Amino acid sequence: MFDVRYKTANEPLEEKEMMWVETIDKLLEDENLRKNYSEKAKQRAEDFRIEKIVEEWKEVLR
The per-residue pLDDT for range 6-47, each reduced to its tens digit, is 888 898 988 988 999 999 999 999 999 999 999 999 999 999
Among 36, 2, 34, 35, CA closest to 18: 2
Among 24, 46, 42, CA closest to 33: 24
pLDDT, position 51: 97
pTM (2 d.p.):
0.63
Q: How far, in Å, CA of 19 to CA of 53, rounded?
A: 35
